[in-house]
Chains A and B, each alone.
Chain A
Amino acid sequence: MSDRFEPVIIGFTCNWCSYRAADLAGTSRIKYPPNVRLIRLMCTGRLDPTFVLKAFSEGADGVLIAGCHPGECHYLEQNYKALRRYQLMTRTLAQFGIVPERLRLTWASAAEGARFAEEIATMVEEVRQVGPLNWPTRPVPRVEQASGGAA
């Protein structure tokens, strides 16, 4: 293992496009960095900002959201809802000190295995540049520890 920082990225993919694009990349023997761990949703419209916050708070260095191209959503227009949530999340996360590079929204059709792999590689490189996020776990109390009988 080199000392190079290997970011951990959680990717939320749509069942109908990006999940299949990742599959296609695999069956086409296209390599992409193993830093991304994918979670399948039925649609990027299912993406609850809570999932993104959870991923960051549990140690992810980046979160990737990948859906169908605008106008090609399997559910007509739900990817636009993902787009709006993404834009609002980016603004909110900035106030928490999470730079935009860490949250990426991309469109990838089921046929775009190679492009999706490239997109992942680009994101891994960008997150590598901004460094580890390493969100602190719950702080340990520093005044006296509770001793004895808490009910």
Chain B
Amino acid sequence: MSKPKFAMYWASACGGCEIAVLNIDEKILDLDANFEVAFWPAAMDVKYKEVEAMDDESILVTLFNGSIRTDENEHMAHLLRRKSKLLVAFGSCANEGCIPGLANLSPREGIFECAYTSPSTENPDHLRPRSAWQAPEGTLTLTPLQSVVRTLDQVVEVDYHVPGCPPESHQIAAVLDVLIAVVKGEAELPPKGAVLGAGDSTVCDECTRKRDIKRISKLSRIQELPMLNTEDCLLEQGLMCSGPATRSGCNSRCPNVGAPCIGCYGAAPGVLDQGARLMTAIASVVDEKEPAAIDKVLDGLPDPAGTFYRFSLAHSLLRANRAALAEKP
């Protein structure tokens, strides 16, 4: 009997998810033992044409990482949806847009402006990417950038979600174990739409720091603070920490070593909009009553949308800046 097929694809993402999968050490051998890798551009050479030639639903499971930023991304999402029985949104980008999704705060022109014209870029000829270019060898094409970043489930139906930027290796291993058990007939598939490889509470649940009643009278960035103490809650020390509103599952890796949580595991179960939860939590514990004094505390958060929606912007209720949404896709 032939082994079931496995695929992994990398859309608009940094590649960290791929590394995280390879980071599961010898567990990767279990993957190889139980699956036939049908398509995994980061690990082996298979052409899109070969995928197109496969029978529909011939791949048992596809781990899709990366957001939908370009026409190519969208094409591959549809293609892999068709060819796979189970499509897994793998990692923060595929689930909620992640860092690429932050680009949704500005229209396309703003993104190009920032990337090709801003003082940080040496580009004296003001070159801009073009979708087609006539080279001596023929026409070279570049997939066009869409107006906004979308998540996988905004484009196609998704069966399972594995959050994290990237998902923690021990969680990936656990998800693989479930898949292998299913293949062996030892376990049932989890209910469709389930979030795999994550906890049911928020990061604070796993955080080892001591917590007290919160009253924020000043918010600072980490570089503005003197030594942080190693025992108390970072938020109480005046550092913006997204832990309270971020799904657990990472063992509170960042806060436990003194870096604030930035929210990569997304919203807690049942929560519609992670940014709104963070916004309300932080605002509620600001220890001031006068508008001017409140503003002074809030000045410690120079980029509220980017802070509260660092990972979840593309999947939030508003999804993007109004001007970006108004553009032709």
Contacts and interface: CB of A to CB of B under 8 A. Distances in A.
Contacts of B286: 84
Interface residues of A, number: 39
Contacts of A84: 283-284, 286, 288, 294
Contacts of A77: 289
A14 B14 CA distance: 47
A97 B321 contact: yes
B interface residue count range (under 10 / 10 to 19 / 20 to 34 / 35 or more): 35 or more
B316 to A, nearest CB: 7
B306 A83 contact: no
A149 B82 contact: yes
Interface string A86-106: 011101100111100000000
Contact of A97 (B279, B306, B322, B329): B322
B326 to A, nearest CB: 7
B105 interface: yes
Interface stretch (A15-23, A36-44, A52-60, A112-120): A52-60
Contacts, number: 127
Contacts of B322: 96-98, 133, 135
Tell me the interface secondary structure of chain A in the complex: loop
Interface stretch (A3-11, A25-33, A121-129, A139-147): A139-147
B283 A135 contact: no
Contact of A92 (B288, B308, B323): B308
A70 B304 contact: no
B74 A141 contact: yes
Interface stretch (B119-127, B171-179, B204-212, B270-278): B270-278
Given A84-B286, A91-B304, A56 B318 contact: yes
Given A95-B303, A148-B82, A150-B81, 6 more contacts: A49-B276, A77-B289, A84-B286, A85-B284, A88-B283, A139-B329
